[in-house]
Amino acid sequence: MPLTKNNIFETITLCLLALSGVFLIGLQFSFGWIFVILWILSLFLCRKNFSKDIGLIYLSLIILSISKINTDISYFHMIEMWSALIAAIAIPYIISKYYYKQDTIKFPWSMWRKWNKKEIAYILLAWIIAYFLIPFYVKNTGAYLNWNVEPWISHIARLFIGTNALGIWDELFFISTVLGVLRKWLPFLWANILQAILFTSFLHELGFSGWGFVMIYIFALLQGIIFKKTESLAYIITIHLVIDFVLFLALIEAHHPTWMPIFLT
């Protein structure tokens, strides 16, 4: 049942969701917990099913907010961080599927779906834009300093695994989980705008400082639109991994420009 003008308290709850993401996750301000408390209070004024569904997103946000989400790729931190990231996806899914007995959160991989020429061309376009934009961004803003790139094979391997694994997680969480829940209660346009705010907040926390939030927000919106058209996680993850591979190379070059001078910036 879509959100209507009469559901003012549900609209307020969704606004509090966005504010929680921005201040608690993105900017890491402790007063962001005020929005979480207000959200809990607002649930008593919303429809029961709405509160149950949106509560799943809040549960994940709380897990992320109390976890150390950063670019540290030490072995211990990777285990600690990925435990939280997996829990942020698994717990809402388990509650929704096995406790609520509903299929609001789905992961449609569509592995064997054939991509048309436009979809293949879009991947190429994404790579070209990333090639010129990302190296310029990380150097221009100094954002590359948020990542530590050491000249060791194990460190480079962990950087590669970390950037790519996180790209997969982004799509599983923000597109399949968050957008999936929001689409149940909102028209797609508003659901996509809200998931993009949360998507951007998370990656800002992770290290995409400066004007990176503009770039990420546009990307998050496009990923939501493409997923709506294709219903294929495999496709949008491929797009994300192509961009993440450019990021991986750009970080190495920014830290060690004599190693790999492959970018024009």
User: Is residue 37 scored above 80 in pLDDT?
Assistant: yes
Residue 261 lies in a domain: no
Q: Average per-residue pLDDT in the chain?
A: 89
Instruction: Please write the tens of the pLDDT for every residue from 74-103.
Output: 888 889 999 999 999 999 999 999 999 999
Model pLDDT for residues 59-75, shown as the tens digit of each residue:
998 898 888 888 888 88
Residue 123 lies in a domain: yes
What's the pLDDT at 34? 87
pTM for the model stands at 0.91
User: How many domains does the chain contain in total?
Assistant: 1
161-189 core/surface letters (b: 16 or more CB in 10 A; e: else): ebbbebbebbbbbbbbbbbbbbbbbbeee
- CA angle 188/189/193 to nearest 5° reads 110
Residues 112, 113, 114, 120, Cα dihedral to 10°: -110
**Domain contains 111:** yes
Q: Residue 226 domain-assigned?
A: yes
Assign 188 a pLDDT band (cuts: 50, 70, 90).
very high
Give me the domain span that covers residue 36: 8-255
How would residue 5 be classed by pLDDT, with cut points 50, 70 and 90?
Answer: very low
pLDDT in tens, 193-251: 999 999 999 888 788 888 989 999 999 999 999 999 999 999 999 999 999 999 999 99
**249 domain residue, yes or no:** yes
Q: What is the mean pLDDT of residues 50-56?
A: 91
- Band the pLDDT of 46: cuts 50, 70, 90: confident
Q: Among 122, 111, 112, 132, which residue's Cα sits nearest to residue 222?
A: 122
Buried residues in 31-63 as b, exposed as e (16+ CB within 10 A)? ebeebbeebeebbeebeeebbbbbbbbbebbeb
Q: What is the mean pLDDT of residues 157-177?
A: 94
Classify residue 21 by burial, with Cβ atoms within 10 Å: 0-12, 13-18, 19+: buried
